[in-house]
Amino acid sequence: MRLCEFCNEPAPFVIRADELERHLCAKCLKLEEPVPGIADLLNKLVGPSKRTRICPHCGWKAEQVEHTGKVGCPLCYEALDSPLLHEIERL
């Protein structure tokens, strides 16, 4: 998942218009919403970010990622809330 272009939070929403793609979190989508009420509807469908500091699949901690630069399993990329992993997603 990419990060919001305004606040760097996880951005589950993508707005595409005229070959321009914008990644937004629920809060920023609400501020920039192209259709009134769409942010609330989309947030109900997607829900809040489910990233945590501990991977529910392997038990690896975000602190371990930041210390070693390694993940415990492939699912850590989606599960862990780590600044290092956010940077990797931007690439």
Higher-confidence position of 31 and 71: 71
Q: How far apart are CA 81 and CA 58, in angstroms?
A: 15
Per cent of the chain over pLDDT 70 is 74
Residue burial 59-90, b: 16+ Cβ < 10 Å; e: rest: ebbbebbeeeeebbeeebeebbbbeebbeeee
Whether 60 has a pLDDT exceeding 80, the answer reads: yes
Residue whose structure tokens are 């993508």: 14
Task: Express each pLDDT in 35-47 by its tens digit.
Answer: 667 766 766 665 5
pLDDT at 85: 73
- For range 62-85, the mean pLDDT: 84
